[in-house]
Amino acid sequence: MNKENINVLFGKRVRQLRMRKGLSQEELGYEAGLHRTYIGQIERAEKNITLKNIAKIAKELGVNISELFDFNKLE
């Protein structure tokens, strides 16, 4: 696994999946019941996200939670 901080890797993965689905940070936040700035903070590794919010994001991205942690798929 990459030596980057897990928050950085997680943020990159959320961004990758969000963009692949064609969603803005605002759209993902709205659908997940989270603020758009919170999504940006997660993607920039400025927030330590809770499991509850990880589940919300996974649901809105249409992936299993484990898919958010599959850092080998980062481009």
Q: How confident is the model at residue 39 (pLDDT cuts 50, 70, 90)?
A: very high
Average pLDDT estimate for 22-45: 97
Q: How confident is the model at residue 55 (pLDDT cuts 50, 70, 90)?
A: very high
Q: For residue 17, what are the contacts with CB-CB under 8 A and spacing of at least 6?
A: 61, 63, 67, 68
Can you give the pLDDT at residue 3? 61
Can you give the pLDDT at residue 63? 98
pTM of the predicted model as reported, rounded to 2 decimal places: 0.92
Can you give the pLDDT at residue 60? 97
% of residues, the chain, pLDDT over 90: 93
How far apart (Å, rounded) are the C-alpha atoms in residues 70 and 37? 24
